[in-house]
Amino acid sequence: MKIILSPSATFRDDQPPVVSGEALFYRGAYYDFSQLSDGSEIKAELPFIGKISRVNGRVELTLEYQYNTETAEDNLSADWSDYTFVVTSGECPCPIVRKPVQKIFVEAECGLEDNN
């Protein structure tokens, strides 16, 4: 399956889609494309963008992919190839580059008593 993730800046993060054969699981919904014949296409609604088609036996689609602007790097790639994946099984890679996570250290007081 050829998947293009179309990034959309929001305050939430989508989980990457998961492919299983001719099916896709995304945003809690299951989509089965096994009945889509070669050379045909269908118009789709969100979270899909544009048409879903089967070209040379492979399903091709574009998904809206929301990412949190607070956790993503400011300068994301503008190259569509960075958002295009061919996935035969499993989770699609996440194309969003994240800011480094800051580690917070908390000093805890130990209630140790000197029993001497």
CA atoms of 83 and 93, how far apart (whole Å)? 9
**Using an 8 Å Cβ cutoff, are 33 and 23 in contact?**
yes
Residue position matching structure tokens 């140790």: 112
Q: What is the mean pLDDT of the chain?
A: 91
Residue 101's pLDDT band (cuts 50, 70, 90): confident
**Using an 8 Å Cβ cutoff, are 6 and 67 in contact?**
no
What range defines the domain where residue 23 resides? 2-91
Q: Is residue 7 in a domain?
A: yes
Tell me whether residue 54 is exposed, middle or buried, using C-beta atoms within 10 angstroms of its C-beta: 0 to 12, 13 to 18, 19 or more: buried
Q: Is residue 41 in a domain?
A: yes
Q: Is residue 74 in a domain?
A: yes
Number of folded domains that form the chain: 1
Q: Is residue 60 in a domain?
A: yes
| Phi/psi at 81 (5° precision) | -65, -25
**What is the mean pLDDT of the segment spanning 10-37?**
96
| Tens digits of residue pLDDT in 32-49 | 999 999 999 999 999 999
